[in-house]
């Protein structure tokens, strides 16, 4: 059960994609996935423009840094270009999260957009609060977010899945890509220690699989965290390939988002028709070359990983986003 060893993680809020051109990203999502993006407020602290894009059960936050202001977001894109950045979790009590993360576990916390240290209470307001972990303590940066019922009910720019009336829908029968769920994040790391300790000992997650991933050339450790499990493949490269090259260029980082699709052969044909080339093409996994996807590495598989706890949950548990 999540929260036994620390704070209570409810579920994944979003992956984050740092991109130089939000318009190009919007066009890409519409062309490949058939979905639209929603503009959310400009971040005065982070000096960045942002959109949200919902694909099946997954909401991606796209961030484009303002180029006239130096910020952590802009420094990231200046050095690495377009790339996946950090995952964000919903938590049930942000004040308790700060206490347990910083006071109990000694994890340094920073404010969104500025990198300023956080002590005592998270930055934000009465309707929403958020913070980041220091990647030196947790393997990569992780974000935590808590929003009030008023925020979700009344703010037109809140997470679309949390709005009254939103319902998850399975892909239509004639959908050629037919994304059903976000399968997992792949995180490339030099070693597992800090990220695994954070997800398991701090966030109450559990390791459910370990194996050599022949398709990606990595030693992979699979961890599920949250009341509604979010899955992370911690991947240590064993040979040359995209995972090792990404790690050598970027350091520890979110390497790929992998979606579960209804039919892998149909997905392969759709991606080819859209002009996307494959970096990895196996019987179990497709990964698109990020050079053809604005820098975002996207994977597709036909089933959840072996041992995934979501296999034992009803679909309603996976797709009901608002608290009961």
Q: What is the pLDDT along the chain (324 residues), one digit of tens a residue?
A: 333 445 899 999 999 999 999 999 999 999 999 999 999 989 888 899 999 999 999 999 999 999 888 888 999 999 999 999 999 999 999 999 999 999 999 999 998 877 889 988 888 888 999 999 999 999 999 999 999 999 999 888 899 999 888 999 999 999 999 999 999 999 999 999 999 999 999 999 999 999 999 999 999 999 999 999 999 999 999 999 999 999 999 999 999 999 999 999 999 999 999 999 999 999 999 999 999 999 999 999 999 999 999 999 888 888 888 875
Contact of 277 with 288, CB cutoff 8 Å: yes
Q: How far apart are CA 141 and CA 112, in angstroms?
A: 11
Contact of 160 with 169, CB cutoff 8 Å: no
Q: How far apart are CA 299 and CA 235, in angstroms?
A: 14
Quick one: pLDDT at residue 195? 98
DSSP string, 175-228: -SS-EEEEEEEEEE-S-SHHHHHIIIIIT--EEEEEEEETTTTEEEEEEEETTT
Quick one: pLDDT at residue 148? 92
Quick one: pLDDT at residue 324? 58
Quick one: pLDDT at residue 101? 95
Quick one: pLDDT at residue 1? 31
Quick one: pLDDT at residue 87? 98
Q: How far apart are CA 102 and CA 306, in angstroms?
A: 34
Q: Tokens 């950090």: give the residue.
A: 86
| Backbone φ and ψ of 51, nearest 5° | -135, 160
Q: How far apart are CA 5 and CA 24, in angstroms?
A: 42
- Give the torsion sign (CA, 21, 54, 75, 127): positive
Four-CA torsion 133, 134, 140, 141, nearest 10 degrees:
40
Quick one: pLDDT at residue 4? 42
Quick one: pLDDT at residue 320? 86
């Amino acid at each position: 059960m999540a929260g036994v060893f620390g704070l209570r993680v409810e579920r994944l809020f979003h992956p984050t994609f740092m991109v130089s051109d939000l318009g190009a990203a919007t066009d890409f999502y519409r062309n490949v996935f058939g979905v639209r993006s929603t503009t959310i407020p400009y971040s005065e602290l982070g000096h960045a423009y942002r959109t949200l894009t919902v694909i099946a059960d997954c909401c991606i936050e796209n961030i484009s840094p303002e180029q006239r202001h130096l910020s952590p977001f802009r420094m990231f894109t200046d050095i690495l270009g377009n790339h996946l950045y950090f995952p964000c979790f919903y938590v049930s009590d942000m004040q308790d999260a700060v206490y347990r993360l910083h006071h109990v576990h000694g994890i340094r916390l920073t404010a969104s957009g500025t990198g300023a240290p956080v002590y005592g209470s998270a930055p934000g307001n009465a309707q929403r609060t958020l913070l980041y972990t220091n990647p030196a303590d947790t393997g990569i940066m992780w974000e935590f977010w808590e929003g009030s019922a008023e925020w979700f009910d009344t703010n037109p720019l809140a997470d679309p899945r949390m709005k009254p009336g939103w319902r998850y829908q399975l892909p239509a029968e004639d959908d050629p890509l037919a994304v059903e769920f976000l399968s997992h994040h792949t995180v490339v790391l030099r070693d597992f220690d800090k990220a695994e300790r954070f997800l398991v000992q701090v966030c109450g997650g559990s390791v459910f699989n370990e194996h050599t991933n022949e398709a990606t050339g990595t030693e992979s450790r699979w961890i599920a965290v949250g009341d509604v499990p979010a899955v992370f493949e911690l991947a240590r490269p064993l040979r040359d390939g995209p995972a090792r090259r990404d790690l050598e260029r970027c350091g520890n980082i979110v390497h790929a988002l992998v979606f579960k699709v209804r039919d892998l052969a149909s997905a392969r044909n759709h991606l080819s028709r859209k002009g996307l080339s494959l970096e990895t093409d196996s019987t179990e996994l497709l990964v698109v070359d990020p050079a053809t996807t604005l820098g975002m590495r996207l994977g597709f598989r036909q089933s959840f990983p072996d041992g995934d706890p979501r296999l034992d949950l009803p679909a309603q548990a996976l797709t009901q986003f608002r608290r009961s």
